[in-house]
Amino acid sequence: MKKFPTWLAAVLLAAGLGIAVPAPASAAPYCGLTWGSLMKSDGAMSGAPVTNVRTGQHYCFDRLVVDLGGLPAPGYSVRYVGQVIQDGSGAVVPTRGGARLQVVVKAPAYGTNGQPTYTPGDPAELSNVSGYQTFRQVAWAGSFEGQTTMGLGVRARLPFRVFTLDGPGPGSRLVVDVAHFW
């Protein structure tokens, strides 16, 4: 019976010193992401044409990849907009979701001979993103005067990052990752 009061005193002392109390929840960013939601851009133009658009799902984000048929990797401008605008005509491109990213790739979707290097089968649905956590739609907004534009509908204004990669082979890629949460 003497052991119980000693044990109780030790538990109360530990709780009083903060040893046995769980630590408070931290305010660490989701998956360690610290990207933000402001415009990202790089000014370099590229003659490497757009050849494909694809998407993928990751644990912490959804990914858009624009494949290019050469180097150098292109410049870009990616930002949240109220409406995605079509290149050349200025027409609004309908885009599903609570927020819209306008993705401008500073590379054409046609070769030097004017022939298309990428022709979407369905301009309103460049990739099937049903079941994605963040993406709602990837829409074509055209290629005009050496740059190509897409609308990326997402469920909310979430943090994103943009970067370019060389390869595979002689090609390059523009990558846009949008986080699932803040």
Task: Count Cβ atoms below 10 Å from residue 142 Cβ, excluding itself.
Answer: 17
SS3 3: helix
Tally of domains within the chain: 1
| Segment-wise mean pLDDT, segments of 10 residues, the chain, 182 residues | 57 50 53 92 89 97 96 92 92 97 96 94 96 98 95 98 92 96 88
* Gap between the Cα atoms of 50 and 53, Å rounded: 8
Domain with residue 144: its CATH number is 2.60.40.3500
**Cβ-Cβ contacts under 8 Å for 39 (sequence gap 6 or more):** 77, 78, 79, 80
Does residue 129 form part of some domain? yes
Does residue 11 form part of some domain? no
Does residue 84 form part of some domain? yes
Task: Count Cβ atoms below 10 Å from residue 163 Cβ, excluding itself.
Answer: 13
Does residue 63 form part of some domain? yes
Residue 22 amino acid letter: P
Does residue 148 form part of some domain? yes
Answer whether 0.85 is exceeded by the pTM: no
The DSSP-derived string for 5-53 is: HHHHHHHHHHHHHTSSSPPPPP-PPGGG----SS-EEE-----PPEEEE
Give the helix/strand (H/E) hosting 4: helix 3-17
SS3 130: coil
Task: Count Cβ atoms below 10 Å from residue 106 Cβ, excluding itself.
Answer: 19
Does residue 5 form part of some domain? no
Give the helix/strand (H/E) hosting 113: none
Q: Can you give the pLDDT at residue 182?
A: 85
Q: Which domain holds residue 133?
A: 35-179
Does residue 1 form part of some domain? no
Does residue 49 form part of some domain? yes
Q: Can you give the pLDDT at residue 87?
A: 81
